[in-house]
Amino acid sequence: MKKMKSNNLQNSIRNDRRNFLKLSGAAIVGSGFLFMTGCSDDDDQPMPEPDPEVFDLGPGNLGILNYAYALEQLEAAFYERVLDGSYWAGAPSSEKQIFEDLRNHEVIHREFFKTAITAAVGSDTSLVLPDLEFDFSTVDFGSRDNVLNISQILEDTGVSAYNGAGELIDVSDSAGLTYLTLAGKIVSVEARHASAIRDLISPGSTNFASDMVLVDIGGSGLAYDKATPPADVLTAVVNTGFVVTPFTANNLPNS
């Protein structure tokens, strides 16, 4: 099984979290991901059969919705833990308010996707990604630096993830057009979150729109947010070790 090349997102996560994150053993299965303890490097090794007990995000727009739902579950769970931590308890009121807003926004996003997916699948609730379990035991919620660094990575990842998934949404019907419109509205909020966190880390600087998260299109200069394919985002998310509940993305659309 070939190893996927490291990308900037994964390198950023490794560099920023190497002192306090436990990397999990992740395996790439087909075009998706399965939480496993390891895999063979032999290219001739047959692909493992899908485990019917493990949830798959699904194909088409359903898969994209479940994918976004997984990311929003992660962000909401993280900020809920932040608000239970000693850093937040002792933070200035202005910082408390920012994290309260982030928590509230991510919870609303999480519940929106749960409602949208449930409406899309009707009575077949087995197609809705279940509530995920997370392990944040490697995070020091008493450390401002730790909380801010992880928040920055999560928000930057969220922005690039929505940008990367947008082009995969099937807009051949009105539902798809609605999903794309709402994704655009959510990604703009995620970008505001990223900017707010970066300003807390480096007040009054140009870090709010760092060159680290921008790309050049057509030689016009660094002025566009990154668009990261779901496969790369999921690899980076798996490598945090935060997600405990196994799921696959074997049928997720690719760019």
Looking at residue 28, what is its pLDDT?
Answer: 29
Looking at residue 29, what is its pLDDT?
Answer: 31
Condensed to tens digits (0 to 9), the pLDDT of residues 146-175 reads: 999 999 999 999 999 999 999 999 999 999
Residue at 96: amino acid letter: K
Looking at residue 45, what is its pLDDT?
Answer: 47
Q: Which residues of 213-226 are buried (b: 16+ CB within 10 A; e: fewer)?
A: beeeeeeeeeeebb
Condensed to tens digits (0 to 9), the pLDDT of residues 66-90 reads: 999 999 999 999 999 999 999 999 9
Condensed to tens digits (0 to 9), the pLDDT of residues 164-222 reads: 999 999 999 999 999 999 999 999 999 999 999 999 999 988 888 777 777 888 998 88
Q: Which residues contact 204 (CB under 8 A, 6 or more apart)?
A: none
Query: Average pLDDT of 223-228?
Result: 85
Domains contained in the chain, CATH given: 62-230 (1.20.1260.10)
pLDDT > 50? residue 2: no
Distances (CA, A) of 215 to 187, 222, 237, 251: 17, 5, 21, 28
- Name the band, by pLDDT with cuts 50, 70 and 90, for residue 50: low
What token pair was written down for 38? 């390891």
pLDDT > 60? residue 41: no
Query: Average pLDDT of 7-17?
Result: 41
